Amino acid sequence: MKRVRCPKCDQYITFDETKYATGQSLVFQCPECGKQFGIRLGVAKLRETLKKENEQLINDNGERSKDEAPCGSIIVIENVFHYKQILPLQMGDNTIGRYQKGNPINTPIETVDPSVDLTHCIINVSLDKRGQLKYTLRDTNSNTGTFVDNVELRQGERRTIEDGTLFTIGATSIILRTHNGDE
Residues of the domain holding 14: 2-40
Q: Do both 35 and 104 map to the same domain?
A: no
Task: Indicate if the pLDDT at residue 59 is higher than 50.
Answer: no
Q: Do both 150 and 169 map to the same domain?
A: yes
Average pLDDT, the chain: 82
Q: Do both 101 and 13 map to the same domain?
A: no
In angstroms, rounded to a whole number, what is the distance separating the alpha carbons of residues 32 and 26? 18
User: What is the reported pLDDT for 155?
Assistant: 86
| pTM score | 0.61
CATH code for the domain in which residue 57 is found: 2.60.200.20
Residues 25-58: tens digit of each pLDDT: 889 899 999 988 888 877 555 555 555 554 544 4
Tally of residues, the chain: 183
Number of domains present in the structure of the chain: 2
Residues 80-119: tens digit of each pLDDT: 556 788 999 999 999 999 998 888 899 999 888 889 999 9
User: What is the reported pLDDT for 64?
Assistant: 41
In angstroms, rounded to a whole number, what is the distance separating the alpha carbons of residues 89 and 158? 18
Q: Do both 16 and 71 map to the same domain?
A: no
Taking CA atoms, 65 is separated from 58, 60, 61, 89, in Å, by 7, 10, 10, 15
In angstroms, rounded to a whole number, what is the distance separating the alpha carbons of residues 111 and 132? 32
Q: Do both 82 and 156 map to the same domain?
A: yes
User: What is the reported pLDDT for 116?
Assistant: 93
Q: How many CA atoms lie within 13 A of 139 on its CB side?
A: 21
Q: Do both 122 and 152 map to the same domain?
A: yes
User: What is the reported pLDDT for 162?
Assistant: 95
Q: Do both 16 and 104 map to the same domain?
A: no
Q: Report the pLDDT averaged over residues 150-156.
A: 91
Task: Indicate if the pLDDT at residue 68 is higher than 80.
Answer: no
User: What is the reported pLDDT for 57?
Assistant: 44
User: What is the reported pLDDT for 129?
Assistant: 92
Q: Do both 92 and 177 map to the same domain?
A: yes
User: What is the reported pLDDT for 181?
Assistant: 52
Q: Do both 32 and 104 map to the same domain?
A: no
Q: Do both 160 and 71 map to the same domain?
A: yes
Inter-residue contact 89 to 107 (CB < 8 Å): yes
Task: Indicate if the pLDDT at residue 67 is higher than 50.
Answer: no
Q: Do both 118 and 131 map to the same domain?
A: yes
Q: Do both 19 and 84 map to the same domain?
A: no
Q: Report the pLDDT averaged over residues 61-73.
A: 58
Collapsed DSSP state (helix, strand, coil) of residue 179: helix
Tell me how far the alpha carbon of residue 17 is from its chain's centroid. 23
